[in-house]
Amino acid sequence: MHDTDVASGSIKQNLPPSLVAKIAPHEAAITFVTVGELTRWVFARDLGARRRSQIEHVIAVTPKIPGGVDVARKWGEVVAYADKHGRPIPVNDSWIAACCLAYDLPLAALNVADYEHLAEHEGLRLITT
C-alpha cells in the first residue's frame, strides 16, 4: 500500500530509486484516504489538465482499500496508543496506518517519522528508502 506522498511521487515519477526497487514486488494500492487527498489536490491546486488527468487515471486504475468497522476500530486503537505515548500522528496518516494494520498490508512511506512508533508497537510493516 502507498501512502499519499508515495502515490504522488509515483505520479510525478520522482520517487527515490531505492524505494521504487523495494515496492516493485508489491501490488500498488491506495486507501480511501489517499483518494480523498489526491482529489483535494485536483480541486485545491491550479493543476493543468494533464496533471489532473494523471491523478484521475491513477485513482481509477489503482486498487482501493476501503474503510469500514475493522479499520475504524483499528484507527481508534492506533490514535489512542499514539496519544497515550506522546506520539500524536496526523489524522490522515493514522487512517492510512489503520487500513494497513486492519488488512495486514505493508505501507510504503516517505514520511517515516509519522509511522515509526506504529511499526515498533503495532506491527505496522513499513517499506522505506
List the domains of the chain with CATH numbers.
Answer: 4-127 (3.40.50.1010)
Q: Looking at residue 85, what DSSP letter applies?
A: T
Q: From 63, 77, 75, 56, select the one nearest 11 (Cα to Cα).
A: 56
Provide the sign of the torsion angle of the four alpha carbons 121, 69, 63, 34, taken in this order. negative
Q: pLDDT tens, 104-123?
A: 999 999 989 889 988 888 89
Structural contact between residues 101 and 124, judged by C-beta atoms closer than 8 angstroms:
yes
Q: Residue 31 pLDDT more than 90?
A: yes
Q: What is the mean pLDDT of the chain?
A: 93
User: What confidence score (pLDDT) does residue 46 get?
Assistant: 83
Give residue-wise pLDDT tens across range 76-101. 999 999 999 999 999 999 999 999 99
Global pTM value: 0.92
